[in-house]
């Protein structure tokens, strides 16, 4: 029989619970703090923003959380997602390594984001919320939440970072088709937006600013809550369905990963893939190296400071202990919009401090080169974000070629680029350059830490 390329789980074998890594860690992560009192926040502090069920998941110490039947029903539209062995890429590289990728581009919006958008919409609807607000950078999260809100009959209002609102009309049309309302951010609709526009009428925005606008709206309006697409514990919890499926698929493949690689913006696709494998590692059942890859233009883990900072620009959120470039930091306009966030998930930051994962930063030219090589061998055009993980996979596979090691590499291919093709157009035209981040720029932005 020919060697297998695709490992598909039956619907009946889809995992029915999410995994919470916190109780398995040697130390718990530091708590979020109230910005006024600097004391750990309680559930009441979060109630204006999130429904009780999600607040409970944010702080749970249970190892597993059952996935509600209504959520599993929606997941079945595209889950379980396939695990592929990248045989053609391996051949092109001439590597003895075996490369696998877990493909999340099969979701309705083309990325892993609906894995958390769907349960977030479900729990909000179940508690009588009628409208969700959010921000979106590249447009992936806004599309995912718009789809999820349509599924559970919620209104959805999205603040889209101005730069991407102007560059990516198709994401806006997708959100509107699912029934959402989309505003460019900064907007005149919020105090936070007006303050930014007063200082800089031409501001192209940032995720931090868009979060301030969405949070401000949710805190003020009736029956309205806020939804975040990454960073928080409950988001990473929902994404662990990726890693739980991948574990089962590795059993089908009869293989065990030696190296896991994922791209990190806020950390959700990376954590979603890695945490179930980290559980196995901590239990001594396997020993993969786990590696986070970030853009050289927004190097949160590798050059940021591990400190308490705001999640948004206006300082409306609780203080989170995380690797941060400073909440005022506005990254250069690289094409991987989903990786342009000033902070990193507190959980990923903590796990990095514990020495359980590695991190590296790669410039976008190398990333697009990897994306094109992947497209020409495997036939999937990766979103600009996961090209960071692919570039690191290729580096590892080429090291194996030198040493002759038959390592098994696993990566999360967290989305496709069908709505990001102009970025590839720019690369093919030779118009992509690396944006170095000078030390002075970073020092200036870190000086603004609370
Ligand atoms: C949002 C997004 C990211 C970055 O977010 P994480 O929380 O770090 O996963 C990466 N890739 C894609 C395709 C995205 O949509």
pLDDT above 90 coverage of the chain, percent: 88
pLDDT in tens, 279-289: 999 999 999 99
pLDDT of 315 strictly over 90 = no
pLDDT of 181 strictly over 70 = yes
Whether 135 and 158 have beta carbons less than 8 Å apart is answered as yes
Ligand 1 centroid distance, CA of 39 (Å): 31
Q: Which atom of ligand 1 is nearest to the CA of 269?
A: 9
Mutate to test the pocket of ligand 1, among 108, 207, 238, 268 (most ligand atoms within 8 A of CB): 268
Distance separating alpha carbons of residues 417 and 387, to the nearest angstrom: 10
Q: What is the pLDDT of residue 109?
A: 97
pLDDT of 73 strictly over 60 = yes
- Nearest CA to 204 out of 339, 340, 303, 325 is that of 340
Distance separating alpha carbons of residues 359 and 339, to the nearest angstrom: 14
The residue whose CA is least distant from atom 5 of ligand 1 is: 265
pLDDT (mean) for 301-323? 93
pLDDT band at 2 (very low <50, low <70, confident <90, very high): low
> Residue 14: how many CB atoms within 10 A of its CB?
18
The residue whose CA is least distant from atom 11 of ligand 1 is: 385
Q: What is the pLDDT of residue 330?
A: 84
CA distances from 183 to 143, 188, 283 (A): 13, 10, 47
Q: Walk across the sheet containing 155-161 and list its strands.
A: 181-185, 155-161, 131-136, 224-226
pLDDT above 70 coverage of the chain, percent: 100
Ligand 1 centroid distance, CA of 44 (Å): 29
Structure token digits, residue 285: 């059942």
Domains in the chain (CATH in brackets) are 5-14+68-110+234-446 (3.40.50.1100)
Ligand 1 centroid distance, CA of 339 (Å): 7
pLDDT band at 50 (very low <50, low <70, confident <90, very high): very high
Structure token digits, residue 5: 């390329």
What pairs with residue 410 in β-bridges?
100, 260
pLDDT in tens, 4-19: 999 999 999 999 999 9
pLDDT band at 435 (very low <50, low <70, confident <90, very high): confident
Mutate to test the pocket of ligand 1, among 387, 415, 423 (most ligand atoms within 8 A of CB): 415
φ, ψ of residue 280 in degrees (nearest 5): -65, -40
* Exposure string over 360-385, b if 16+ CB within 10 A, otherwise e: bbbbbebbbbbbbbbbebbebbbbbb
The residue whose CA is least distant from atom 2 of ligand 1 is: 338
pTM over 0.85: yes
pLDDT of 272 strictly over 90 = yes
pLDDT band at 314 (very low <50, low <70, confident <90, very high): confident
pLDDT (mean) for 225-230? 96
pLDDT (mean) for 201-218? 92
pLDDT in tens, 126-159: 999 999 999 998 899 999 999 999 999 999 999 9
What residue ranges line ligand 1, CB within 6 angstroms? 111, 113, 140-141, 230, 263-270, 338-339, 383, 385-386, 414-415
Mutate to test the pocket of ligand 1, among 230, 298, 345 (most ligand atoms within 8 A of CB): 230
Whether 53 and 70 have beta carbons less than 8 Å apart is answered as no
Distance separating alpha carbons of residues 83 and 90, to the nearest angstrom: 15
Ligand 1 centroid distance, CA of 265 (Å): 6
> Residue 235: how many CB atoms within 10 A of its CB?
29
Q: What is the pLDDT of residue 101?
A: 98
pLDDT (mean) for 313-317? 84
Q: What is the pLDDT of residue 338?
A: 84
H/E/C letters for each residue in the chain? CCCCCEECCCHHHCCCEEECCHHHCCCCCCCCECCCCCCECCHHHHCCCCCHHHHHHHHCCCCEEECCHHHHHHHCCCCCCCEEECHHHHHHHCCCCEEEEEECCCCCCCECCHHHHHHHHHHHHHCCCCEEEEEECCCHHHHHHHHHHHHHCCEEEEEEEHHHHHHCHHHHHHHHHCCCEEEEECCCCCHHHHHHHHHCCCCCCCHHHHHHHHHHHHHHCCCEEECCCCCCHHHHHHHCHHHHHHHHHHHHHCCCCCEEEEECCCCHHHHHHHHHHHHHHHCCCCCCEEEEEEECCCCHHHHCEEEEEECCCCCCCCEEEEEECCCCCCCCCCCCHHHCCCECCHHHHHHHHCCCCEEEEECHHHHHHHHHHHHHHHCCCECCCHHHHHHHHHHHHHHHHHHCCCCEEEEEECEECCCCHHHHHHHHCCCCCCCCCCHHHHHHHHCCCC
pLDDT of 337 strictly over 90 = no
Q: What is the pLDDT of residue 30?
A: 96
Q: What is the mean pLDDT of the chain?
A: 95
Q: Which atom of ligand 1 is nearest to the CA of 144?
A: 15
Q: Which atom of ligand 1 is nearest to the CA of 270?
A: 9
Mutate to test the pocket of ligand 1, among 241, 265, 361, 417 (most ligand atoms within 8 A of CB): 265
The residue whose CA is least distant from atom 14 of ligand 1 is: 338
pLDDT in tens, 382-424: 999 999 999 999 999 999 999 999 999 999 999 999 999 999 9
pLDDT of 1 strictly over 70 = no
Ligand 1 centroid distance, CA of 230 (Å): 8
């Amino acid at each position: 029989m020919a060697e297998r390329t695709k490992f598909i789980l039956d619907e009946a074998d889809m995992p029915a619970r999410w995994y919470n890594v916190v109780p398995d860690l040697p130390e718990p992560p530091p708590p979020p703090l109230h910005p006024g009192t600097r004391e750990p926040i309680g559930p009441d502090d979060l109630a204006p923003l999130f429904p009780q069920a999600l607040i409970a998941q944010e702080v749970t110490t249970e190892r597993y959380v059952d996935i509600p039947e209504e959520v599993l029903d929606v997941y079945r539209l595209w889950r379980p997602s396939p695990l592929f062995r990248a045989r053609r890429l391996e051949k092109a590289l001439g590597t003895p390594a075996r490369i696998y990728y877990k493909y999340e581009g099969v979701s309705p919006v083309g990325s892993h984001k609906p894995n958390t958008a769907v349960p977030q919409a479900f729990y909000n609807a179940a508690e009588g919320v009628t409208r969700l607000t959010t921000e979106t950078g590249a447009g992936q999260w806004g599309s995912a939440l718009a789809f999820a809100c349509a599924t559970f009959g919620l209104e959805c209002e999205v603040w889209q970072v101005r730069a991407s609102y102007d560059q990516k009309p198709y994401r806006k049309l997708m959100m509107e088709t699912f029934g959402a309302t989309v505003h460019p951010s900064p907007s005149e609709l919020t105090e936070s937006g007006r303050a930014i526009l007063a200082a800089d009428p031409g501001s192209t925005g940032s995720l931090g600013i868009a979060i301030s606008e969405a949070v401000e709206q949710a805190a003020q309006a009736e029956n309205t809550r806020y939804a975040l697409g990454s960073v928080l514990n409950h988001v990473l919890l929902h994404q662990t369905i990726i890693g739980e499926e991948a574990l089962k698929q590795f059993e089908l493949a009869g293989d065990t990963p030696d190296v896991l690689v994922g791209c990190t913006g806020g950390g959700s696709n990376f954590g979603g893939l890695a945490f179930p494998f980290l559980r196995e590692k901590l239990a001594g059942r396997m020993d993969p190296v786990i590696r986070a890859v970030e853009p050289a233009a927004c190097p949160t883990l590798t050059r940021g400071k591990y400190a308490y900072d705001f999640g948004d620009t206006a300082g409306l959120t609780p203080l989170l202990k995380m690797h941060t470039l400073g909440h005022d930091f506005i990254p250069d306009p690289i094409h991987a919009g989903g990786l342009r966030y000033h902070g990193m998930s507190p959980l990923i930051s903590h796990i990095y401090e514990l020495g359980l994962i590695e991190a590296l930063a790669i410039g976008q030219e190398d990333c697009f080169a990897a994306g094109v090589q992947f497209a020409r061998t495997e036939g999937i055009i990766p979103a600009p974000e996961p090209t960071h993980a692919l570039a690191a996979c290729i580096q590892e596979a080429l090291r194996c070629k030198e040493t002759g090691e038959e390592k098994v590499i696993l990566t999360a291919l967290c989305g496709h680029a069908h709505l990001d093709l102009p970025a590839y157009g720019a690369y093919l035209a030779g118009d992509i350059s690396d944006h170095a981040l000078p030390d002075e720029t970073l020092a200036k932005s870190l000086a603004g830490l609370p």
